[in-house]
Amino acid sequence: MTVETADAGAMDDAVHDPIRERLGTPHNGWLIVAGKEFADHLLSVRFVVLTFVLGLAAIVPLYFAADRIRSLASDVSGAQAVFLALFTIGGQDFQFLEVDRFVSIVAPLLGVAFAFDAVNGERAEGTLPRLLSQPIYRDDVINGKFVAGLAVIAVVLTSVVAVIAAFGMLRLGIVPAPSEVVRVIAWLGATYLYVALWLAFGLLLSVVLRRAATSALIAFGSWILITIFGSLIVSIVAGIIAPLSSATTNEEALNLLGLQQMISRLLPSTLYEELTLVLLNPAVTGVSTPSTLGQFVQAQQQIPSLLSLDQSLLLVWPQVVALIALIVVCFAAAYILFMRQEVRA
């Protein structure tokens, strides 16, 4: 044996994990779990039903807004951001029917539905001990389930957005500009983050609670409470903590408005709504209330203009960081609790 061969063999021994090789544990066990879970999700009735519901939530508003968008496209032919109107404009008589608003309400269902029984469902069927007896590490199970859920949600959301874009191009004759396509992709990425938060929350419930029915009840109840009644609850709390009637000067009123806005951002739905507003509307130049009277006057005197994508991202990077932080907290809690749980055959 030459010196080079011996050195190469020593390097291989140093690189390979002897414990994994002895136990036969693959290095990419989470990919195996994710692939199996992804295939099961695609073939499930749950996937078909949720795709149909989300598709209706996006197509129905677009159907009612088609005439209005068509007239808008013909009146401002060649103007910028017309393609983005597919996602932000409702019908003439049903202006509340907007694609972005419906997606913000329905999309969290995807995260909750694909995660509320991810662990306790396996435990109830008695398959969790057999799964953990395979030559994979325990963390590969929860990592694979989270990745598989996020992947199948990405497939659903991307398909719905692609259908909306195809409808606008083929039916309404709207040709998107490259900057508009990038903005839609950025909004789609923000939607992934928003749904991933609900996915991590549902995964946490499936680890903490033993029964899938209980975790489903809490998950869907939380969705209804935050998405539908969250703004009302936060406005009541903000009115109690920082009532505008107590302001004696304009400066104090602006400070109280800023405090109320900060309280409202405790809701993930508010963070996502601000992301959507800025990414799909380049004319939006701010999402925060001015802190001083001078800044308020300056904002009123600002000349309307369209922001570039990087400028829009600068406006909403705190919201992006906040969503990522919430995802990390929920997933880390689920990960730690799952690793410490006892699993009996």
Q: Per-residue pLDDT for the chain (345 aa), expressed as one digit of tens each?
A: 443 444 444 434 444 444 444 444 556 778 888 888 999 888 888 888 888 887 777 777 777 666 666 665 555 444 456 778 777 776 555 555 677 887 888 888 888 988 888 888 888 887 887 877 777 788 888 999 999 999 999 998 898 888 888 877 777 777 788 888 899 999 999 999 999 999 999 999 999 988 888 998 998 888 888 888 877 887 787 777 766 666 666 666 666 676 677 777 788 888 898 899 889 888 887 776 545 545 444 544 455 567 888 888 888 898 999 999 999 999 999 999 998 887 765
Can you list the positions of beta strands (E) in 134-205? none
Contact yes or no for 320/276 (Cβ under 8 A): no
Q: Which residue has the tokens 């693959």?
A: 26
CA-to-CA separations, 56 to 29, 153, 167, in angstroms, rounded: 37, 16, 14
What's the CA gap between 242 and 254, in Å, rounded?
11
Residue 109's identity, in one-letter code, is L
pLDDT recorded at residue 191: 93
Percent of the chain that is helix, strand, coil (3-state, to 5): 75, 0, 25
Tokens encoding 108: 């969290």
What pLDDT is attached to residue 235? 76
For residues 53 and 66, what is the distance between their CA atoms, to the nearest angstrom? Answer: 20
**What are the structural domain ranges in the chain?**
26-228+319-340
Task: Please report the pLDDT score of residue 100 as a whole number.
Answer: 80
Calculate ∠ Cα 81-83-86, nearest 5°.
120
Q: Tokens standing for 144?
A: 């694979």
Q: Which of 59, 294, 76 has the alpha carbon at shortest distance from 167?
A: 59
Closest CA to 239 of 257, 265, 266: 257
Distance from C-alpha of 108 to C-alpha of 148, rounded to nearest angstrom: 16
